[in-house]
Amino acid sequence: MKRHGGALLSSIRIDRSSDRRFSVQLYMALRELLLSGAFNIGDRMPATRTLALEIGVSRTTVIDAIDRLVSEGLLESRVGAGTFVSKTLAAQIRLSDSAQGVDGHIATPRLSRMTERTSRAFTTRSPLPHKSAPFITALPALDAFPMAQWARLSARHWRKARDQIAGYGEPFGFARLRSSIAQQLNAARGIKCDPEQIFIVNGAQHAFATIGLMLVNPGEAIWFENPGAVGARNAFLACDARLVPVDIDAEGFRVEDALKKQPDFRLAFVTPSHQQPLGLVMSLARRLALLQAAKDADAMIVEDDYDGEFYYGEQPPPTLKSIDTQERVIYVGTFSKSLFPSLRLGYILSPISWMKVSLRPMSGPCGRSTRSATMRLWIPQTG
Ligand SMILES: Cc1ncc(COP(=O)(O)O)c(C=O)c1O
């Protein structure tokens, strides 16, 4: 049975210690009452002056809250007559009732096969967030991160060139970042590349999913390290690829085994500089064998160099990409280890042979042309 709305209104309490504005608190309380069906459609609301006195707030606060409810269509204001519970509220109450299962029907989303698969795969991961701990493989030493310096540098850069850092940027990532990455790869990882080959993504896992979607048809084989990286595995599973587990020994990825199991493969996923999770470096013989196998199968190799910035001794282990004369290696880097993972920043170094196709005009997210200059779409060369 409905209680009289007036009695309910006097039950509204404003939390004076809250950071939330009084008008917002009042709006939320009134909205909840309205949506719970506490009022009859067409009921007249008390005058704002009466409400203000009853609840103990200013009249302006009440007017603010009422105005919001009127603009949402839950209340109706009639000039000279007052404010009334709107007819459209009945429909809203019916909708929210059925969403809560009052009529016994709760809609469950019909998931695509891809989402079914990935949600199953992702729930097998350990709970997040991971905590820093000795010997943990997935996290840098967050407590050692120079946060004060980072904050200073961030503040300095946020102050300048606002349209460059806050506007819709280059579709493949901030040009200066792409240049810096290309320079760093050349200097530290022995990879000669052009900034145009670098594509900024939201971390290595986004890179794997993107590469999988671009290159692998459902059911096609991906050679995958066993044991291997869970995040990469999930990203490739999402593309409906068939993962072929390939054992690791003291020299790394057992290319011979992989060839016996599945000579026809589309992609191989490896962590040659620091096998995840065993920590091995892949031998040169195995690297050459893998490159040869990729050539023979007309396949590509994903090199995940997730923590190539860290090493003991004078020289870091070389990258597979640095000896890739056939352009078979797609190199993936991330800032999750050298900076921190919540940044969600990584990159793909595409093979140089993947041409850039010009396309114009192209619309931006608001439907307007984002720039008059030509934009390029990244697609592999065909024919
Ligand atoms: C093998 C491997 N590659 C890449 C990453 C980084 O992934 P992301 O850049 O998506 O954080 C991790 C993180 O633990 C990893 O273990």
| Class of 5-99 in CATH | mainly alpha
Q: Using a 6 Å cutoff on CB, does residue 271 contact ligand 1?
A: yes
> What is the helix (H) or strand (E) element at residue 264, kind and residue range?
none
Q: Using a 6 Å cutoff on CB, does residue 308 contact ligand 1?
A: no
Handedness of CA 310, 311, 316, 320 (dihedral sign): negative
Query: Mean pLDDT across the chain, nearest whole number?
Result: 85
Three-class DSSP labels, 289-340: HHHHHHHHHCCEEEEECCCCCCCCCCCCCCCCHHHCCCCCEEEEEECCCCCC
pLDDT at 170: 86
Confidence of residue 363 (pLDDT cuts 50, 70, 90): very low
Q: Using a 6 Å cutoff on CB, does residue 346 contact ligand 1?
A: yes
> Which of 206, 303, 304, 309 maximizes ligand 1 atoms within 8 Å of its Cβ, making it the mutation to test the pocket?
304
pLDDT at 157: 87
Examine the pLDDT at 328 and tell me if it is beyond 80.
yes
* pLDDT digits 0-9 by tens, 269-298: 999 999 999 999 999 999 999 999 999 999
Q: Using a 6 Å cutoff on CB, does residue 303 contact ligand 1?
A: no
> What is the CATH code of the structural domain delimited by 119-123+137-156+167-352?
3.40.640.10
pLDDT at 37: 82
Please, are residues 261 and 246 in contact by the beta-carbon 8 Å criterion?
yes
Q: Cis omega before residue 227 (within 30°)?
A: yes
Ligand 1 atom nearest the C-alpha of 304 is: 3
Which of these ranges, 51-65, 94-108, 186-200, 218-232, has the smallest mean pLDDT? 94-108
Confidence of residue 120 (pLDDT cuts 50, 70, 90): confident
Q: Using a 6 Å cutoff on CB, does residue 142 contact ligand 1?
A: no
Closest listed residue to residue 188, CA positions, set 302, 87, 311:
311
Which of these ranges, 77-81, 193-197, 283-287, 351-355, has the smallest mean pLDDT? 351-355
Q: Using a 6 Å cutoff on CB, does residue 275 contact ligand 1?
A: no
What's the rounded mean pLDDT across residues 321-347? 95
What's the rounded mean pLDDT across residues 316-330? 94
Confidence of residue 21 (pLDDT cuts 50, 70, 90): very high
List, in sequence order, every beta strand (DSSP E) within the chain: 75-78, 82-85, 198-201, 221-226, 242-249, 252-253, 267-270, 300-304, 329-334, 346-349, 356-359, 375-378
Model-level pTM? Answer: 0.75
* pLDDT digits 0-9 by tens, 134-174: 777 778 888 889 999 999 999 998 888 777 778 888 888 99
Examine the pLDDT at 231 and tell me if it is beyond 50.
yes
Proportion of the chain above pLDDT 90, given as a percent: 56
13 alpha carbon to ligand 1 midpoint, in Å?
48
pLDDT at 298: 97
Q: Using a 6 Å cutoff on CB, does residue 210 contact ligand 1?
A: no
Domain layout of the chain by residue ranges: 5-99, 119-123+137-156+167-352
Confidence of residue 107 (pLDDT cuts 50, 70, 90): confident
